[in-house]
Structure 1
Amino acid sequence: MENYSELVTKQRQFLKTGKTKDVSFRIQALQDLRKLIRTNEKEIMSALKKDLNKSEFDSYITEIGIVLEEIRFTLKHVRKWAKPRKVKTGIAQIGSKSYIYPEPYGVTLIISPWNYPFQLAIAPLIGAVAAGNCAMLKPSELTPETSKLLAVLISQTFPEEYITVVEGAVETSQALLQENFDYIFFTGSVSIGKVIMEAAAKNLTPVTLELGGKSPCIVHEDANLKLAAKRLAWGKFLNAGQTCVAPDYLYVHRGVKNEFLKEFVSVINELYSDNVFNSGTFTKIVSERHFNRLVGFISDGNVYYGGNDDLGSLTIEPTILDKISWKDSIMQEEIFGPILPVLDYDDAEEMVEKIIARPKPLALYLFSESSEFQASILNQISFGGGCINDTVYHLSSPYLPFGGVGESGIGAYHGKGSFDVFSHEKSILKQTTSFDLPFRYPNRKNALKQIKRFIK
């Protein structure tokens, strides 16, 4: 197992120079990162095509475009975010002024996943850089072309004592976790998230864990079925369902189920063609192990649509499973593939009880025209974030912090949230020397009586 202590030490020494605390330095680094992306757009798309068979359209909107927008937003606001900000002072601290100073944690470790191997590596890096940290980035070995390209591009743009990419498999992650980082940012599965948190606990290292879970989609009886079908198909089958916030299962009102499923099939054919094996543009499953796991789910319930697969190309067509129960294997874990199990309901309260009996999901999507029903669902079910009458789209807004709750994650990022998650807020009280309040001291006569006049 390789030792990365020398690299961590180099980054700590670079931090001591104070360069990363200079906001102008951070801005230049973000501009360099943006230039890196723009200049190598074709190479990034090529790597994503080799790793996951992503089309240029999907690569741009879900990997490249989204991080360029994140950089643009961060560059616009980072000077303001980095400034100490004055806050109110309580009456008990009369004479003083209160401030919050954002400061970088220090040397950070970012472990990114394979499903969006470029976006989910660069997006947290933007926050780490904006907040003034050094960063070590560990991409997934399951997408080797993107990992290799990241390593080359980052090394050509930044010195390793500032930002570096460490390639490798599980052993590399294990070795990195032996080091004492100031912050760890992990995106991936719940099971690995627990390993990360256990390793971080040894040094009391703060963490952000962007995990997953079974995110429900609810189509109520009053929903706009055509739009619901189109937006659900897009959100579910984007990246072949290999999205942490993809709708994991569908709860559809029994009164509109048949009509909705007909619309759903129609729009799948419209968006992805009726033969994804011939189109050559549908994202493949990342590995044979994941492929076999997903194919095993197709025997659950009844295949309403799809159900075909091709091991040679690691492709599974969009699949709808009907007659599903909570006892089926597909309902026991996050699917992370292009298979949508369908449950139906008449009683909304019973449906809600079924959802909240499970671990809190990363996302929830509701299609309904009723503001009362929307409010009821939002008030009763705890989840990371989501959409009303759409899917996945909340992820793209820099104004909406993205993260989970409970088993679906710890912490949130995007926009200012990315700056905040990589910053420690240092609280400072600046006291006057023009006068001194005598009753704060214990030897003052009637001190307690005077204090109680202020604190009631």
Structure 2
Amino acid sequence: MDATNTSQGNNMTTHQDTPGKVPVGSDTGKMDSKAAGMNPYAGLVSGLRAAWLAGKTRGAEHRVSQLEALGRFLDDKKQPILDAMASDMRKPPLEAELSEILLVKNEVNYALNSLASWMKDEFVEKNLVTRLDTAFIRKDPYGVVLIIGPWNYPLHLILVPLVGAIAAGNCVIIKPSEISSCTEKLVAEMLPSYLDKDCFAVVTGGPAETTQLLENKFDYIFYTGGPQVGRIVMTAAAKHLTPLTLELGGKNPCYVAEGGDLQSVANRLVWGRCFNAGQTCVAPDYVLCSPETQEKLLPALGRAIAQFYGPDPRASPDFARLVSDRQFQRVRALLGSGRVALGGQTDEQERYIAPTVLADVQPSEPAMQEEIFGPVLPIVTVPGVDEAIAFINSRERPLAVYVFAADSKVVHRVLEQTSSGGFGANDPMMHMTLPSLPFGGIGNSGLGSYHGKFGFDTFTHQRACVLRSSGLEALNSPRYPPYSQRKLGLLAAASQIQRKGTCSLQ
């Protein structure tokens, strides 16, 4: 659920979304390093690195205590969190509690339930040469991690990766988005009192602060945002050969096949497109369907909008607003694509754009050139599933592909013949609610994944370990010079892997 490059909360360039700087939460050591003429965050990073090198975060007890503390933060600060979300984008309480609190708490509890098994050494198969040795994978933390979050789900998209980083035993700096300023202030002022200040810190500010942070050497960087800024983050990471995860989003296609219950389709599409006023990276970004299906789908979409938000969605307490004037103006400009079949009303003062459906949109029009990130759903007509698949495959690989079809053969055709970060049949966005599934993009929509154990693995270095006896030196003699054909035969017999049987595909 990340922000796009057009709506990025931690952009590297100056933009009008940046509010006045919020006071720094726990970025200790900043003033001393400034006085010394160093990078303003060098002292903070070195302090966290010292805690990590001392082994403070490695023990299971510390990891459990910090995860439990994160859970208490979500419980204790529930109302302030809901208030901050309402102030930032008038997010309805149910949407905020579900996406920003419940799903994060699920990740915390999932990690607590599973941490002991995740941390265990993983013993591996051995050959004859290593039969007397111990061979295993040790799950090591990377070290000091930087997590940069966006504005659209300003708590969820920093705390879920934080769960993985804590579970894996890392020290962490969190950089929340300055655009969702009320949530940023809450995180900076309240979260540090729950976590170990020697091991975790919050840094606030805008593009300048983010740029300065990225000048430091981190052991892992986790960035959620858009492809344009993702490239900047990746370039900064490359200077220190720092591994990273990029969660970047993209235009998620939704193919609606002929037949089926179009009212159910419409209900689910409107919910997915209008949740958080469309500011969700896994939302269905456009619909592909036949002209005949479009004509049947439009009245069903209208009924769903009226049922969810009433005759005037602007008066509904269940419909959020766009986060900033900049985002309002950007999304409003997309309404000129195709024809406005439903909605289209706007109010600049409220940053309100009505739930809107654009019909007969051409692939070359503005609404099809960027991720919409608003409550606007374009429909592009195609003759059938073959053309829909070809259309999807002609564009950058998205964060998600969706298909609505009563025929399972159609579902599996779209699944097998397209590529995306995730996939959903007959409902959007639900795949990202399961900690048991990886969440992430592919190609232009991202690099790497997280959630559940996938988050633990993301922030874990899998260290290959072999423990050998200091004795039994005679067993090593075949590998030592002078070499001979006999020695080669002994080594091959002891270490070679033989194929077992034949492979038959059913």
Pick from 14, 22, 27: which aligns with 2:51?
14
Pick from 55, 58, 67: which aligns with 1:30?
67
The secondary structure found in structure 2 opposite 1:89 is: coil
Matched, 1:213 2:228: no
Pick from 322, 343, 347: which aligns with 1:310?
347
How far 1:324 moved relative to its partner? Answer: 0.6
Cα deviations by residue, 1:70-125 (Å, 9 ceiling, x for unpaired): 11111000111011111212345433332011111111100000000111111111
TM-score normalised per structure 1:
0.97
Cα distance in 1, alignment partners of residues 42 and 197 from structure 2: 13
Aligned to 2:475: 436
Cα distance in 2, alignment partners of residues 222 and 379 from structure 1: 21
How far 1:347 moved relative to its partner? Answer: 3.2
Aligned to 1:397: 434
Cα distance in 1, alignment partners of residues 404 and 133 from structure 2: 51
Cα deviations by residue, 1:257-286 (Å, 9 ceiling, x for unpaired): 222222121111111223121224311111
* Structure-2 change in CA distance of 1:159 and 1:72 (3 Å): closer
- Are 1:14 and 1:162, in contact at CA under 8 Å, matched by a contact in 2? yes
Cα distance in 1, alignment partners of residues 402 and 223 from structure 2: 24
Question: What amino acid is the match of 2:353?
Answer: I
Matched, 1:381 2:421: no
How far 1:444 moved relative to its partner? Answer: 4.8
Matched, 1:57 2:57: no
How far 1:55 moved relative to its partner? Answer: 1.1
Q: How does 1:155-194 map to 2 (within 5 A)?
A: 155-194=192-231
- Are 1:301 and 1:322, in contact at CA under 8 Å, matched by a contact in 2? yes
How far 1:63 moved relative to its partner? Answer: 0.7
Cα distance in 1, alignment partners of residues 233 and 129 from structure 2: 42
Cα distance in 2, alignment partners of residues 415 and 92 from structure 1: 36
- Are 2:177 and 2:206, in contact at CA under 8 Å, matched by a contact in 1? yes
Cα distance in 1, alignment partners of residues 260 and 478 from structure 2: 64
- Are 1:48 and 1:145, in contact at CA under 8 Å, matched by a contact in 2? yes
- Are 2:73 and 2:194, in contact at CA under 8 Å, matched by a contact in 1? yes
Identity between Structure 1 and Structure 2 (%)? 37
Question: What amino acid is the match of 2:491?
Answer: I
- Are 1:438 and 1:444, in contact at CA under 8 Å, matched by a contact in 2? no
Q: Bigger shift: 238-247 or 430-439?
A: 430-439
Aligned to 2:21: none
Question: What amino acid is the match of 1:298?
Answer: L
Q: Bigger shift: 423-432 or 437-446?
A: 437-446
Q: How does 1:144-293 map to 2 (within 5 A)?
A: 144-293=181-330
* Structure-2 change in CA distance of 1:90 and 1:366 (3 Å): farther
Unaligned ranges ≥5, structure 1: none
Matched, 1:361 2:398: yes
Aligned to 2:30: none
Cα deviations by residue, 1:35-59 (Å, 9 ceiling, x for unpaired): 1110110000000000010111111
Matched, 1:125 2:167: no
How far 1:184 moved relative to its partner? Answer: 0.5
- Are 1:359 and 1:406, in contact at CA under 8 Å, matched by a contact in 2? yes
Matched, 1:447 2:484: no
Cα distance in 1, alignment partners of residues 114 and 317 from structure 2: 41
Cα deviations by residue, 1:312-363 (Å, 9 ceiling, x for unpaired): 1101011000111111011111111111100122232222111111110001
Question: What amino acid is the match of 1:128?
Answer: A
* Structure-2 change in CA distance of 1:370 and 1:440 (3 Å): farther
- Are 1:361 and 1:408, in contact at CA under 8 Å, matched by a contact in 2? yes
Question: What amino acid is the match of 2:475?
Answer: D
Aligned to 1:352: 389
Give the superposed CA RMSD: 1.5
The secondary structure found in structure 1 opposite 2:146 is: strand
The secondary structure found in structure 2 opposite 1:426 is: strand
The secondary structure found in structure 1 opposite 2:475 is: coil
- Are 2:66 and 2:196, in contact at CA under 8 Å, matched by a contact in 1? no
How far 1:217 moved relative to its partner? Answer: 0.7
Cα distance in 2, alignment partners of residues 222 and 348 from structure 1: 13
Cα distance in 1, alignment partners of residues 127 and 253 from structure 2: 44
TM-score normalised per structure 2:
0.87
How far 1:440 moved relative to its partner? Answer: 2.7
Unaligned ranges ≥5, structure 2: 1-33, 499-506
Q: Bigger shift: 43-52 or 250-259?
A: 250-259
Cα distance in 2, alignment partners of residues 271 and 143 from structure 1: 26
How far 1:378 moved relative to its partner? Answer: 1.3
